[in-house]
Amino acid sequence: MRRVHVVGMGLAGLAAALDLVERPDLSVQLHEATSRAGGRVRSFEDRRLGTLVDNGNHLVLSGNRAVFDHARRIGTVDLLELAETAALPFVDLATGARWTLRLPDGPADLFAGTWAVPPGTGAGLARDLARLLAAGRAATVARALGRAPDHPAMRLLWEPLSLAVLNAPPGEGAAAALRAVLLRSALRGGRASRPVTMPSGLGPTLVDPARDLLQRRGAALRTGRRLTGLRGDPGRPAEALVFRGGEVPIAPGDAAILALPAEAAARILGGPGPGAGRPILNAHFRLPAEAASLSPPILGLTGGLAQWVFRRGDVLSVTVSAADAAAARPPGEVLAQLRGEVETALGAPLAPVAARLLTEHAATFAATPAAMAARLPMRTRWPNVVLAGDHVAGPLPATIEGALRSGRAAARAI
Ligand X SMILES: Cc1cc2nc3c(=O)[nH]c(=O)nc-3n(C[C@H](O)[C@H](O)[C@H](O)COP(=O)(O)OP(=O)(O)OC[C@H]3O[C@@H](n4cnc5c(N)ncnc54)[C@H](O)[C@@H]3O)c2cc1C
Q: Which residues bind ligand X (CB under 6 A)?
A: 7-13, 31-34, 39-41, 55-56, 58-60, 226-227, 259-261, 264, 280, 282, 360, 363-364, 389-390, 398-401, 403
Residue 103 beta carbon to ligand X: minimum distance, rounded to whole angstroms: 18
Residue 165 beta carbon to ligand X: minimum distance, rounded to whole angstroms: 8
Residue 393 beta carbon to ligand X: minimum distance, rounded to whole angstroms: 13
Nearer to ligand X, 165 or 176 (CB): 165
Element (H, E) at 268: helix 262-269
Which residues, 6 or more positions from 295, have their beta carbon under 8 angstroms from its beta carbon? 309, 311, 316, 342, 346
Residue 382 beta carbon to ligand X: minimum distance, rounded to whole angstroms: 16
Q: Is 394 helix (H, G, I), strand (E, B) or coil?
A: coil
What is the C-alpha separation between 165 and 25, in angstroms, rounded? 39
Nearer to ligand X, 109 or 263 (CB): 263
Instruction: For the chain, give percent helix, strand, coil, nearest 5.
Output: 35, 25, 40
Beta strand 2-7 with 255-258 is parallel
Q: Please give the angle made by the CA atoms of 68, 73 and 75, to the nearest 5 degrees.
A: 90
Quote the DSSP letter at residue 376: P
Residue 157 beta carbon to ligand X: minimum distance, rounded to whole angstroms: 17
Nearer to ligand X, 21 or 363 (CB): 363
Q: What is the DSSP string of 157-225?
A: IIHHHHHHHHSS-TTTSBHHHHHHHHHTTGGG-GGG--EEE-TT-HIIIIIHHHHHHHHHTT-EEE-S-
Nearer to ligand X, 124 or 273 (CB): 273
What is the C-alpha separation between 364 and 373, in angstroms, rounded? 15
Nearer to ligand X, 280 or 291 (CB): 280
Nearer to ligand X, 260 or 292 (CB): 260
Nearer to ligand X, 139 or 400 (CB): 400
Residue 88 beta carbon to ligand X: minimum distance, rounded to whole angstroms: 13
Q: What would you measure as the largest C-alpha separation in the chain, in angstroms?
A: 65
Residue 360 beta carbon to ligand X: minimum distance, rounded to whole angstroms: 4
Residue 12 beta carbon to ligand X: minimum distance, rounded to whole angstroms: 3
Nearer to ligand X, 82 or 97 (CB): 82
Distance from the Cα of residue 248 to its chain's centroid: 31
Quote the DSSP letter at residue 155: I
Q: Taking the CB of residue 391, how many other CB atoms lie within 10 A of it?
A: 31
Nearer to ligand X, 9 or 291 (CB): 9
Phi and psi torsions of 344, nearest 5°: -60, -45
Residue 362 beta carbon to ligand X: minimum distance, rounded to whole angstroms: 8
